[in-house]
Amino acid sequence: MTPLNRRTFIQSALAATGGLALGSSGRSLAAKDNKRTLLPVKVSRDRLIRTVVGLRPYRPEGFRVETEKLGDKLLVHHYGHGGAGITLSWGSAHLALELARDSRQPNCAVLGCGVIGLSTARLFQRRGGSVTIYAKELPPETTSNIAGGFWYPTSVYEGNRTTSKFLDQFQLACSTANRAFQLLAGPEYGVRWIDTFEFQSGEGSLSPDMPGGAELYPDNHRFEESKKYFGVQTARQFSTMLIEPQTYLNALLRDFYVAGGKVVVREFQNAEEIAQLSEVLIFNCTGLGAKKLVGDPSLTPVRGQLEILLPQPEIDYCYVGQLGYMFPRRDGIILGGTFEHDVWSLEPNPDTVTSILDNHAQLMKRMRK
C-alpha cells in the first residue's frame, strides 16, 4: 500500500487511468447533469492579507490512541493526527474515551487545548464527567486555529507503516467524526456543507477511492464542465464540510466552560510532572509537544504554509488538485498548500508565497477564458 498523505493521495488518485469505475459504496461515478456557475477567485499579491505557517503532528504509523500506566495514573495518549486533526477530532476522541471507560473516573485532566484536547474534554463532559484542561496555549493561539478546516482525512499515515488494527480505528474515527460534524452544521459552530472539485491536468479517470470511504461524500459524481471552468479533462464533484477554525474552537471552548470545565495555563516538561497531577485519569492531547513530553521518536512535524486572501463571499466552492487547494472562509480565501516533512521552522518562506500565488493564479486564468 502506498503512503497516504494529502499530497500523495491527490497525486495517486488523479493519476489513475481507464474508464470510470464503481465507488467503494457501489455507486457509479458516472457524469451527472448538474450544471452550475463557478466564479473565479481573485488571486493577486495585493489581495494577500496574511501568511500563516503551522506544524502538523505526524506519525507514519498513524495517530496514537493507547493507554499507559504512570504510577497510579492512567495516561491515555491521543495525538499525532497529521493534517486531519479537525477532521478526525470527534472520532478519535471517541476511541480515546472508550479506552478509559473501565477506569470509571468521574473527573479527568486533559493536556492540550487545541481541537483534539477540546473534543476529548467535551465528549467526557457529555458523558457526565468533570474536566480540567492544562495547556500552554489556548485558542486563538493553538495550531488548530491556523488549520484549513476542510473535512478530508488525509496526510494521516503511511500505508506501509500501519497495522490492520489502526486501519480499523481510522475508519471508525472517520465515520464517527463525519456524523458528529453533520450535527454541528450551522453558523454557531462555523460548519457548513460545500461543493468541492477534485481535478487533474491530463487525460484519465478518477479513482473510486476517497479518504475514509466514498460513502462519506454525498453528491459524488464526475463534473462534466471541468474543461470550461478549470481547464482540465477530468474532475470529480462531491460535497463535504468546511469548518471555520476561529468560530469552531471558540464555540467548543465556550461549551466547555458552560459545562463547568476549568482551564489551567501550564506547560509540562516531562512525564514526572504529569504524574504529580491530582487527577487519576489523564488524556495526553499535546500534539507535536508529545515528542518531547513522552519521548515519541516517530512523531515529526509536517510544515504547512497558507496564503490568505481578502474574503470573497461569492465563492461557494472548494477545489483540490496537484496545484494545491482553495477553501473560501469568512476570514479569507485559504490557498495552500505545502507538506514539508521534518521541517520545524515557523518562518514564512517568501519563495513559497510566490509559488502558491502563481499556481492558483494560473488556474484562475484558465477559468476566466
- Grid coordinates representing 17? 487511468
Residue 10 has pLDDT above 70, yes or no: no
Name the E strands within 37-111.
Answer: 48-58, 64-70, 73-79, 107-111
**What pLDDT is stored for residue 6 in this prediction?**
42
Contact 335, 308 (CB under 8 A): yes
Q: What is the CA radius of gyration of the chain?
A: 21
Taking CA atoms, 339 is separated from 58, 82, 150, 333, in Å, by: 11, 10, 16, 19
User: Which residue type occupies 217?
Assistant: Y
**What pLDDT is stored for residue 208 in this prediction?**
76
- Give the separation between CA 285 and CA 120, rounded to whole angstroms: 8
Confidence of residue 321 (pLDDT cuts 50, 70, 90): confident
Render the burial of 222-255: b for 16+ CB within 10 Å, e for the rest: bbeebeebbebebbbbbebbbbbbbbbbbbbbeb
**What pLDDT is stored for residue 37 in this prediction?**
85
**Chain position carrying cell 521534518:** 342
Over residues 314-337, the mean pLDDT reads 94
Nearest to 79 by CA among 160, 163, 191, 156: 156
Residue 319 has pLDDT above 90, yes or no: yes
**What pLDDT is stored for residue 347 in this prediction?**
97
The total of other beta-carbon atoms located within 10 Å of residue 91's CB is: 27
Confidence of residue 201 (pLDDT cuts 50, 70, 90): low
Alpha helices in the chain (DSSP H): 6-14, 85-99, 115-126, 164-182, 226-230, 245-258, 271-275, 290-293, 350-368
**What pLDDT is stored for residue 199 in this prediction?**
82
Render the burial of 301-315: b for 16+ CB within 10 Å, e for the rest: bbbbbbbbbeeeeeb
Confidence of residue 323 (pLDDT cuts 50, 70, 90): confident
Residue 168 has pLDDT above 60, yes or no: yes
**What pLDDT is stored for residue 4 in this prediction?**
39
Residue 250 has pLDDT above 60, yes or no: yes
Which residues, at least 6 apart from 326, have a Cβ–Cβ distance to it below 8 Å? 41, 318, 319, 333, 334, 335, 336, 360
List pLDDT tens digits, range 107-138.
Answer: 999 999 999 999 999 999 999 999 999 999 99
Which residues on neighbouring strands pair with residue 186, listed in sequence order? 191
* Residue 322, burial from CB neighbour count under 10 angstroms (0-12, 13-18, 19+): middle
Contact 108, 76 (CB under 8 A): no
CATH code of the domain made up of 1-30+47-369:
3.40.50.720
Helices (H) and strands (E) in the chain, counts: 9, 15
Query: What are the backbone dihedrals phi and psi of residue 216, each rounded to the nearest 5 degrees, phi first?
Result: -85, 0
**What pLDDT is stored for residue 224 in this prediction?**
87
**What pLDDT is stored for residue 314 in this prediction?**
96
- Percent of the chain whose predicted confidence (pLDDT) is above 90: 80
Q: Where are the domains of the chain?
A: 1-30+47-369
Which residues, at least 6 apart from 297, have a Cβ–Cβ distance to it below 8 Å? 291
List pLDDT tens digits, range 142-164.
Answer: 999 999 999 999 999 998 999 99
Over residues 158-182, the mean pLDDT reads 96
**Chain position carrying cell 470511504:** 213
List pLDDT tens digits, range 27-63.
Answer: 344 445 456 789 999 999 999 999 999 999 999 999 9
Secondary structure (DSSP) of 145-204: GGS--B----SSB-GGG--HHHHHHHHHHHHHHHHHHHTT-BTTTTEEEEEEEEEESSS-
CA 93 and chain centroid, separation? 14
**What pLDDT is stored for residue 270 in this prediction?**
95
**What pLDDT is stored for residue 367 in this prediction?**
79
- Give the separation between CA 121 and CA 127, rounded to whole angstroms: 10
Which residues, at least 6 apart from 65, have a Cβ–Cβ distance to it below 8 Å? 76, 77, 78, 92, 95, 96, 99, 169
**Chain position carrying cell 493526527:** 81
Confidence of residue 7 (pLDDT cuts 50, 70, 90): very low
**What pLDDT is stored for residue 15 in this prediction?**
34
The rounded mean pLDDT for the chain is: 89
**What pLDDT is stored for residue 205 in this prediction?**
65
